[in-house]
Amino acid sequence: MRARLAVLAALIAVLAPAAPAQAATLEGLQLTGSVRPADRQALRGALASGRAAAQTLLRDAGAAADVRVRTHTEPRWVSVMRVRRGRVELSFSRTHLHGLGARGRNQTVWHEIGHVVDLLFVSPSADDAFRDAFTRSANWRSCYRFSGQCLDDDEIFAEQFAYWATGDRTSRSSYRIPALIGPESFGRIMAGEDTSAPWWVVRRR
């Protein structure tokens, strides 16, 4: 999860104010013109699948930073969170939104939201708590391989966040990372974080 620090420094330096109130929004996320009505409907369905605590985190993220959503057709099998020009951007593949079935779609959407939550709200101390909990799991592996490389901590966290958010603990992504801790354990660690502001302005515990 520490791999995000470089982009985080840039985000802190140039964090843009929230988009105007008249912009199309969905649960605090700013929707760009690329999001078609069918995409919006799919996103709404995915967000509705999240537990209340996850939905609160999503709204907090939209209040803390300019989080914008776009959709794309290529690359078909890539949805991504990135920081661009001081904004947090979620770009969802329409194949993921419309071609995976509801459960696959839901996990994909909440996985990418997990990256946003990790970036904005998970403090270094919580990073350590999550990693310690994950590594104690009987399902833990020191290397989860994808495309010939070991996945980093950011991806492991995002997968676990999606399991927690949706309550669906069956892996539906190509990463094939199993559920490592239960929802109560995940929720306890997450609840220790003050989500009223990004962690870089929250007093260290």
What pLDDT score does 170 carry?
A: 95
pLDDT in tens, 143-171: 999 999 999 999 999 999 999 999 999 99
Alpha helices in the chain (DSSP H): 5-14, 37-48, 52-64, 94-99, 101-121, 124-135, 153-166, 183-191
What pLDDT score does 194 carry?
A: 52
What pLDDT score does 201 carry?
A: 38
What pLDDT score does 193 carry?
A: 62
Residues of the chain with pLDDT under 50: 2, 5-7, 9-10, 12-22, 197, 199-205
Site of tokens 């947090």: 88
What pLDDT score does 195 carry?
A: 52
pLDDT in tens, 49-73: 999 999 999 999 999 999 999 999 9
3-state DSSP call for residue 54? Answer: helix
